[in-house]
Amino acid sequence: MITHDDIPEIALAWHRDGRGAALATVMETWGSAPRPTGSQLAVSAKGEMMGSVSGGCVEGAVVEEAIAALGDGRPRVLTFGVSDEEAFAVGLACGGRISVLIEPVGTALSEAMLAELVAARAARRPIAYVVDLESWDRRLEAPADASDDWLADRFRADKSGVDEGRFIAVHNPPLRLAVVGAVHIAQALVPIARACGYDCLVIDPREAFGSSTRFPGEDISHDWPDEALAAFGLDARTAVVTLTHDAKLDDPAIRAALATKVFYLGCLGSTRTHAKRVARLTEAGFGPEDMARIHAPVGLDIGAKSPAEIAVSIMGQITEVLRKG
């Protein structure tokens, strides 16, 4: 399935197919803009396009310049500014400005560097594409190489943009959510998470609960939770939510999550249930810092009652932790 997030892969494939490809990337926005910094559009030599940087005649102008860039092999930066009155016609909600970087693949942006970027994305390795806007030097940097705080902060914030004459396009792995317990809350939570851009896995050894009838089209594992999470792979772009309310299922998942760098771990249960959970984990050798990572009772305190409302509160808390820490 092609999505707006597959643009580097599409550009590389088009280039290798001999169709030619240019990448257009939103570098900065001021005021209103429908697409955030880092959004990309791939354009072939014939004017085929995939992705989006804005809309309306802005997008049309970007396509024309991308084709021109494929002709001369040179990158360029385009800036569009509109008044409130003109905004709707060019795809902006209201007045603002955007700047777009256009790079033809194979000349300005080498095939080898784009292939390395695509390989890092496929391996779920966070990577930043950095362009010096004066010298046009380019490099790829991983978080481990990010000695400068400005780059490390951008990885944490998932934020592309311009910084001291450099454009930094942050390519973090897709967000993922593992839900342990194929219960009613999970039935509401997984579609919400997918709408927010998460790849989801539902885990429940009880096949009657974790069925394709209850979760149509979803990825389901009937392995024991700790085994399923090990196969899924847990990293700093993954959230884990336990919903079974059954210690023999939830606890193995919690222990597995605490042994990794998952950015969020939420557990269903009352305050009293959580106190018992903490006692079990303490006896298993986990300390206060581990307990502080657990969000329990799970979800924001918004007075949620129904499974759908609880799912909204959980997704809200996941988002809050992701964006605010």
Query: Do 69 and 76 meet the contact criterion of CB atoms below 8 Å apart?
Result: yes
DSSP 44: -
CA distances from 116 to 8, 122, 257 (A): 11, 10, 30
Statement: residue 273 has pLDDT above 90: yes
Structural domain boundaries, residue 312: 176-324
Comparing C-alpha atoms, which of 50, 48, 61, 66 is closest to residue 91? 61
Q: Residue 141's pLDDT is what?
A: 92
Domain termination residue (choose one: 113, 142, 171): 171
Q: Kindly state whether residues 167 and 27 are assigned to the same domain.
A: yes
How would residue 317 be classed by pLDDT, with cut points 50, 70 and 90?
A: very high
Report the share of the chain in percent with pLDDT over 70: 90
Is residue 216 scored above 70 in pLDDT?
Answer: yes
Using CB atoms within 10 A of its CB, is residue 297 exposed (0-12), middle (13-18) or buried (19+)?
middle
* 224 and 301 fall within a common domain: yes
In terms of domains, do 220 and 314 share one?
yes
**317 and 260: one domain?**
yes
Same domain, 220 and 162: no
> pLDDT for 180-196, tens place per residue?
999 999 999 999 999 99
Mean pLDDT of 2-6: 60
- Residue 113 has a pLDDT of 97
Q: What is the domain count for the chain?
A: 2
The answer to whether residues 20 and 164 belong to one domain is yes
Give the SS3 label for residue 271: helix
Whether residue 283 contacts residue 252, with contact meaning beta carbons closer than 8 Å, is answered with no
Residue with tokens 């810092």: 289
pLDDT of the residue at 266: 98
In this structure, the answer to whether residues 212 and 309 fall within a common structural domain is: yes
Looking at the predicted structure, is the pLDDT value of residue 288 above 90?
A: yes
- Asked if pLDDT for residue 60 goes beyond 70, the answer is yes
pLDDT of residue 4: 46
CB atoms within 10 A of CB 40: 24
Of 171, 192, 207, the position where a domain reaches its end is: 171
Residues 138 and 199 in one domain: no
CB 95 within 8 A of CB 32: yes
Does position 149 have pLDDT exceeding 70, yes or no? Answer: no
Q: Which residue has the tokens 């969000």?
A: 295
Looking at residue 220, what is its pLDDT?
97
Domain of residue 215, CATH code = 3.40.50.720
pLDDT at 145: 64
Closest residue by Cα to residue 161 from 172, 148, 145, 150 = 150
Q: Are residues 166 and 189 in the same domain?
A: no
Same structural domain, 13 and 160:
yes
- pLDDT greater than 60 at residue 2: no
* Residues 133 and 213 grouped into a single domain: no
Burial annotation 15-37 (CB, 10 A radius, 16+ → b, else e): beeeebbbbbbbbbbeeebbbeb
pLDDT band at 102 (very low <50, low <70, confident <90, very high): very high
Of 171, 197, 215, the last residue of a domain is 171
Q: Assess whether 300 and 313 both reside in one domain.
A: yes
